[in-house]
Structure 1
Amino acid sequence: MWAYVVERRDEILFLSYQHVSLVLQCVVLATAIALMIAVLVYRSPRLTSMANSASAIGLTIPSFALLGLLLAALGFGVVPAVVAITFYAVLPILRNAVVGLSGVDRGMVESARGIGMSRLATLARVELPLAWPVILAGIRVSAQMVMGIAAVAAYVLGPGLGGLIFSGLSRLGGANATYLALIGTIAVVLLALVVDLLLVLVARLTISRGIRA
């Protein structure tokens, strides 16, 4: 198998780049969407409950089913892949963002307001930094989850390593078919580990020592 990897290394590297680029861009977009929703709902217990319920229900939707529906509406290509991956990426981040913001000590918020900070400034300088460790934990879960979903997105001809996996599975019994599926799967796992290590580094750089302690 190693000889086969060396022979097709350029293709594998390109597909790996496509895969991780697709995942990271969708996770960034999902983080922005989840934070906007969380900021709108976290002060209301009723809206918070609805957001958490939506997150839980959304995770029960099979990725193949969602991709099939998107295929009918958007056709093949990058667009349905991005929509599906972003949808699933939003869910863990939204849940953690709501939990993190709701869990900020109200006394600290009131103290910030008491010294003249506006609601927006309090959110940006007090609540979000304190909630960030919980939010980042959701981002890590999301990135790991959608790394696999991005492979399934090859069903709608999305970019990335899923093409190798599907190609191998469709040709099982043929020459190198098992190699294709294994290489694609192993590459996805390795990329997931690399992305998680990068997010651990982001945590060390963005979470203050006082909060980590």
Structure 2
Amino acid sequence: MSFSEYLSDRWPTILRMMAEHAEVVLIAVGIAAVVGIGLGVAVESRPALARLALALSGAMLTVPSLALFGLLIPLFGLGVTPTITALVLYAIFPILRNTITGLEGVPAAVEDAARGMGLGRLNTLVRVRMPLAWPVVLTGVRVATIMTVAIAAIAAAVAGPGLGELIFQGLARIGGANALNDTLAGTLGVAILALVLDLLFVVLSRLTTSRGIR
């Protein structure tokens, strides 16, 4: 069966897997964004704590993804839970790093002006510092999303949902009927999904960033 015939026959299944893949990625990145941005705001003004948080979250990126998925099996079993947990652990670092970097990049003069206008610390953060830091913060979320799209494919090793199932099926039956088609469809699906999500972040950035700092 040619690849075009394969796609014509299997496209509903491939689209379903792509939707499942996108779902676990977006859920994981959403959780990681809450944790990473919240932690970044909390430690940004405390250099020692900021370095510790970055070191701990960055250390997660040194753990091979297949090994981390395996380590989570005794705790969460197979399926969606270990998949999302692992993706959250990987996604926190770029979001946390960019949150700290973005907030540190806000000019001190702007903060002084905000305080001079009577804004308290919370109002200064919400109305001045975070809007100015937002493009950098959003870039961290964008990087985390694209990174986890690729890592989520490996979640098939722990029965996770998504396009990784096609890739693993194809590799397990290499040389068999449609093995190459399965692997190619899964790989292209991951690449297309990453591109689509990246374009969505470009649009989101334009919609949520003040015109004055674009």
In which range does the TM-score fall when normalised by the shorter chain?
over 0.9
* Partners of 1:92 and 1:135 in 2: CA distance: 9
Residue 125 of structure 1 aligns with which residue? 127
The aligned runs of 1:2-151 (5 Å cut-off) are 2-151=4-153
Could you tell me which runs of 5 or more consecutive residues in structure 1 were left unpaired when the two chains were aligned: none
Code of the aligned partner of 1:44 = R
User: 1:54 deviation in Å?
Assistant: 2.3
TM-score by structure 1 length? 0.97
Residue 169 of structure 1 aligns with which residue? 171
Identity of aligned pairs, percent? 49
* Residues 92, 142 of structure 1: 8 Å contact kept: yes
User: 1:51 deviation in Å?
Assistant: 2.2
Code of the aligned partner of 1:127 = R
Residue 186 of structure 2 aligns with which residue? 184
Could you tell me which runs of 5 or more consecutive residues in structure 2 were left unpaired when the two chains were aligned: none
Code of the aligned partner of 2:158 = V
Code of the aligned partner of 2:67 = A
Code of the aligned partner of 2:16 = F
User: 1:55 deviation in Å?
Assistant: 3.4
Residue 210 of structure 2 aligns with which residue? 208
TM-score by structure 2 length? 0.96
User: What does the per-residue CA deviation read over 1:160-193, in whole Å, with 9 as the maximum and x for residues that have no partner?
Assistant: 1111111111111111111101100000000100
Whether 1:156 aligns to 2:130 is no
Code of the aligned partner of 2:87 = I
* Partners of 2:33 and 2:194 in 1: CA distance: 18
**For the aligned residues, what is the CA RMSD?**
1.0
Tell me the number of residue pairs that the alignment of Structure 1 and Structure 2 aligns: 212
* Partners of 1:208 and 1:23 in 2: CA distance: 27
Q: Which runs of 4 or more aligned residues in structure 1 lie more than 4 Å from their structure 2 counterparts after TM superposition?
A: none
* Residues 57, 89 of structure 2: 8 Å contact kept: no
